[in-house]
Amino acid sequence: MARGLHKAAPNAVIATFPMADGGEGTTEAIVAALGGEARQAVVTGPMGDPVTAVYGIIDGGRTAVIEVAAASGLPLVEKERRNPLLATSYGTGELIRSALREGCRKIILGLGGSATVDGGVGMAQALGIRFLDAAGEPVGFGGGQLERIARIDNSAAEPLLRDAEFVLTCDVTNPICGPLGAAAVFGPQKGADAVMVERLDKGLRHAAQLLADRFKEDVFTIPGLGAAGGLALPLKAFASAEMVPGANMVMEITGLYEALANADLVLTGEGATDDQTAYGKVVSAIAAAASAKQVPVVCLSGALGRGSEQLYALGVTAMFSIMNRPMSLEEAFKESETLIEQAAENIGRLFIRA
């Protein structure tokens, strides 16, 4: 985008900011902005295979930045193996445990891009919390096990959880269950058919009710609890956890809010813009911030899908696909940098002459 704008306006001052909304790229954006360091750990992937996950350390070692996607992400699972009835968030719990034992007392946890719909049970299992069936035996991994839970035992939970502070960055406002919940909206992306979605939603409702009864909190109305397959559910129950809009937090950390005060034009984008974009994702968050400063916002995307027109009401001035001809998805990925640059140049030329 910057190269394209520079071609159209060689004398313009162009500033670039890393952005993310709690999903993939959140750790990289925050670590780059604050001068932190990256760490690696081998953990349990969503389908039980070992994966190498990267997380960040900032604030002099006191804070860890962890993405659910790094350990439990959808891209870690081949398309034909995706099955949220089996997929677990256990690896995310292992990353949290590792960070806590390194001395981190604050965990910024990016809720996005997961392959799981297990209500965070796998993550909690890695942190020592036991989910037992009617016979008193631990349930297994995956969203298909949620309906078997009869009792929750936190007597052997990781002791460091008691003093930990969790900031849960979230890019959606979906509840834990129901027509707009984790299973119904995001389950199909993760390999769930209609029958699986119904079973997963029932399991999430059951697990959430157990926690609601125990901790006397109405978890069913908490916005965003459906993110990452309901992963935040146990953290709301067993730790100090606050949910915040991921994109807004990253904008504040990177300095984008301040830069908007002197901006004439903002370019942003994503792979596909559709009806989900309006629910707190990067484009909608940037549009809201920029429109408050009366700065025009142009969105560049690989595809403009159904419902993308909702973004006009949120502050997006115009949206364009970067495609310049019919092409396969493979071609689009291969040529994406050139396509983005060309589209940004055209927008720059139009804006300068407007």
pLDDT digits (tens, 9 = 90+) for 237-293: 899 999 998 888 899 988 999 999 999 999 999 999 988 787 768 899 999 999 999
pLDDT-above-90 percentage for the chain:
82
35 and 12, same domain (yes or no)? no
Q: 55-60, long-range: CB within 8 Å, 24+ apart, which pairs? A: 55/27, 55/95, 55/98, 55/99, 56/27, 56/28, 56/30, 56/31, 57/99, 57/102, 57/104, 58/30, 58/31, 58/34, 59/34, 59/106
| Distance in angstroms (rounded) separating the CA atoms of residues 310 and 313 | 6
**Are the C-beta atoms of residues 54 and 92 closer than 8 Å to each other?**
no
Please determine, for residue 127, whether its predicted confidence score (pLDDT) is greater than 90. Answer: yes
| Distance in angstroms (rounded) separating the CA atoms of residues 45 and 42 | 9
242 and 323, same domain (yes or no)? no
89 and 153, same domain (yes or no)? yes
Please determine, for residue 215, whether its predicted confidence score (pLDDT) is greater than 80. Answer: no
The whole domain housing 158 covers: 26-247
Residue-wise pLDDT for 30-42, tens only, equals: 998 898 999 999 9
| Distance in angstroms (rounded) separating the CA atoms of residues 327 and 257 | 36
Please determine, for residue 209, whether its predicted confidence score (pLDDT) is greater than 70. Answer: yes
Encoded tokens for 217: 């909190």
Res 137: pLDDT: 97
Domain for residue 259, yes or no?
no
Residue-wise pLDDT for 42-73, tens only, equals: 999 999 999 999 999 999 999 999 999 999 99
To the nearest whole number, what is the mean pLDDT of the chain? 93
Domain for residue 96, yes or no?
yes
220 and 348, same domain (yes or no)? no
Any residues with CB less than 8 A from the CB of 143 and at least 6 apart, and which?
A: 84, 85, 86, 87, 116, 117, 118, 119, 183, 199, 200, 203, 204, 229
57 and 109, same domain (yes or no)? yes
Domain for residue 180, yes or no?
yes
Please determine, for residue 190, whether its predicted confidence score (pLDDT) is greater than 90. Answer: yes
CATH number for the domain spanning 128: value is 3.90.1510.10
Res 214: pLDDT: 80
The H-assigned helical ranges of 127-187 are none
**Are the C-beta atoms of residues 64 and 56 closer than 8 Å to each other?**
yes
219 and 343, same domain (yes or no)? no
Res 354: pLDDT: 53
Residue-wise pLDDT for 165-180, tens only, equals: 999 998 788 999 999 9
As for how many domains the chain has, the answer is: 2
Domain for residue 254, yes or no?
no
| Distance in angstroms (rounded) separating the CA atoms of residues 183 and 200 | 6
111 and 179, same domain (yes or no)? yes
42 and 191, same domain (yes or no)? yes
Q: How far are the Cα atoms of 43, 90, 120, 265 from residue 50, in angstroms, in the given order?
A: 6, 11, 19, 44
203 and 332, same domain (yes or no)? no
- Phi, psi (deg, nearest 5) at residue 130: -105, 135
Please determine, for residue 109, whether its predicted confidence score (pLDDT) is greater than 60. Answer: yes
96 and 232, same domain (yes or no)? yes
Domain for residue 79, yes or no?
yes
Domain for residue 256, yes or no?
no
| Distance in angstroms (rounded) separating the CA atoms of residues 129 and 115 | 21
Q: Mean pLDDT across the stretch 5-22?
A: 91
Res 24: pLDDT: 81
Of 196, 221, 247, the domain-final residue: 247
Encoded tokens for 237: 């129950």
pLDDT confidence band for 3 (50 / 70 / 90): very high
Strand partners, 241: 166
Of 247, 273, 302, the domain-final residue: 247
240 and 298, same domain (yes or no)? no
Res 278: pLDDT: 79
Any residues with CB less than 8 A from the CB of 137 and at least 6 apart, and which?
A: none
Domain for residue 156, yes or no?
yes
Domain for residue 184, yes or no?
yes
Residue-wise pLDDT for 230-246, tens only, equals: 999 999 889 999 999 88
pLDDT confidence band for 212 (50 / 70 / 90): confident
User: How does DSSP classify residue 297?
Assistant: E
316 and 202, same domain (yes or no)? no
Of 247, 278, 311, the domain-final residue: 247
Q: Which of 65, 63, 36 is nearest to 53 (CA)?
A: 65
